[in-house]
Amino acid sequence: MKGLKIAVCLAVFLLVGGLSVSQVSAHPVTIDANFHDVGESLSKLFTHEDTSPFESTITVNATNISQNVTWGGFYFKIMDVGWDVTNVDFVVSSPYEPTSTQGPLTWEVNNDIIGAFLHLDFSDDPVGPDELASFTVRIDNTVDQDTFGIRIHPTGVPEPSTIALLGCGALALVRYRKRRVR
């Protein structure tokens, strides 16, 4: 019965996502992936054995195989593959903070939504073409102990012109507020 459940999950995931999927255990996992561009995603299907712990560390070794794209971040998202993923969360508290070969590393996490996400930012130490970066994150699935998927992809470094535009907008807003206060 368990094998049938896993096969159905895999079929649903392939039909819905149409993405490359590999089945892996819920215990420590390493994913080796190559990315041509930011936003190009890779999805993996995770299943759990009937033993604890139902937590997993996932290490991604990602190679930037583009010719001219630089990464400033990496994105992880929990995906529903036919089963409820309400209680599948990223663990970012000590001693399980995300780690990376890139640093300094900061992150934004949202475990309050169905399909939690974690975005790692390392724009001060970007990953250029033909470079490799590694990321390790922890996922907690102790409540549901069921199948879930994960989508991963690199994100770009903010362009200087974008940062300058945001800065000009912030400055204009500050000046506007000062004039209104008087």
Q: Percent of the chain having pLDDT more than 70?
A: 66
The parent domain of residue 112 ranges over: 2-181
The whole-number pLDDT of residue 82 equals 77
What is the domain count for the chain? 1
What mean pLDDT value characterizes the chain? Answer: 76
Rounded to an integer, what distance in angstroms lies between the CA atom of residue 81 and that of residue 14? 9
Q: Which residue has the higher pLDDT, 42 or 143?
A: 143
Give the pLDDT confidence of 108-165 residue by residue, as tens digits: 999 999 899 999 999 999 999 999 999 999 999 888 777 788 889 999 987 654 444 4
Give the pLDDT confidence of 44-76 residue by residue, as tens digits: 655 544 456 778 888 999 999 998 999 999 999
Q: Percent of the chain having pLDDT more than 90?
A: 37
Range 50-55, long-range pairs (CB < 8 A, 24+ positions): 50/2, 52/142, 53/27, 53/142, 54/26, 54/140, 54/141, 54/142, 54/145, 55/26, 55/91, 55/138, 55/139, 55/140, 55/141, 55/142
E strand map for the chain: 23-24, 29-35, 42-46, 55-64, 71-79, 89-91, 99-100, 106-110, 117-121, 132-140, 148-156
The whole-number pLDDT of residue 166 equals 47
The whole-number pLDDT of residue 127 equals 96
The whole-number pLDDT of residue 171 equals 58
Q: Does residue 24 have a pLDDT over 70?
A: no
CATH of the domain at 81: 2.60.40
pLDDT band at 38 (very low <50, low <70, confident <90, very high): confident
The whole-number pLDDT of residue 167 equals 52
